[in-house]
Amino acid sequence: MTIMNNPLILIAEDDPDDALMLKDAFSEINQNAITFLNNGKLLIEHIQKLLITKKLPNLILIDLNMPVLDGRGVIKELRKSAETKDIPLVVLSTSKNRDDIDSVLALGANEFFTKPASFSDLVGITSMITNKWLHT
């Protein structure tokens, strides 16, 4: 298996510190084709623009609790569209609540991770996500 050349990753994360840590963690594993959006509504709007150019993301990572449109709303929007329903969607949240995890998986998220306390653990999670969802 090989990793796709320059896969496009979209990340919806409203916390600037978390976004910076994610950027650095993906950079550690040489994944740099990342676009950050700070809420779910902006993510959906960005994907609508990408649909015009037929250049969809290879992976979407979303925070669960965001302003304007939260992670659940994003999952519902993406899973109801034929063009976006098969894009791998991973939730990365501070929540450890079993109901949160079960609800997002039931809505159609592919995976759920609780945000780790350490940077090295975050690198480990980004590496797992990349290995699982960006291999061809």
Instruction: Flag whether 112 is in a domain.
Output: yes
β-strand partners of 9: 34, 59
State the Cα angle at 93 between 118 and 130, rounded to 5°.
70
Query: Percentage of the chain with pLDDT > 90?
Result: 82
Instruction: Flag whether 2 is in a domain.
Output: no
Helix axes 16-28, 119-133, angle to 10 degrees: 60
β-strand partners of 36: 11
Instruction: Flag whether 95 is in a domain.
Output: yes
Instruction: Flag whether 22 is in a domain.
Output: yes
DSSP string, 14-76: --HHHHHHHHHHHHHTT---EEEESSHHHHHHHHHHHHHHT---SEEEE-SS-SSS-HHHHHH
Question: What does the mean pLDDT of the chain come to?
Answer: 91
Residue 28 domain boundaries: 9-133
> How many domains would you assign to the chain?
1
Q: What is the CATH number of the domain that holds 52?
A: 3.40.50.2300
pLDDT per position as a tens digit, 61-94: 999 999 899 999 999 999 999 999 999 999 999 9
CB 29 within 8 A of CB 4: no
